[in-house]
Amino acid sequence: MKSKQLANVLIRILGLSLCVQAAMHFVNGMISMGYSINMNYPTNRMGLWSNFLTGAILAAIGICFLVKSRNVTECLFKGEDE
């Protein structure tokens, strides 16, 4: 396997792992918000939204890595001829 192909595969795996991590942040945000609403737990509501915001940012970066993996690979191997 050529180094560009390997880099392309690794960038796609990185994108998938970021999407999985984003899903975990979304689920954690929903559970935390539901718990605080149902139990009338006095907490900082903006702190709970940070999980959703972090999840959205990670999902956006992960999707960009998945879609643009070839462009990222070309940028990394700009000076190499293979």
Burial class of residue 58, CB neighbours in 10 A (0-12, 13-18, 19+): buried
pTM of the complete model: 0.79
Gap between the Cα atoms of 75 and 70, Å rounded: 9
The pLDDT of residue 33: 80
Percent share of the chain, pLDDT over 70: 89
The pLDDT of residue 76: 87
**Type of residue found at 45:** R
pLDDT tens per residue, range 51-68: 888 999 999 999 999 999
Residue ranges of the chain whose pLDDT lies below 70:
41-45, 81-82
Asked if residue 77 lies in contact with residue 3, where contact means CB atoms within 8 angstroms, the answer is yes
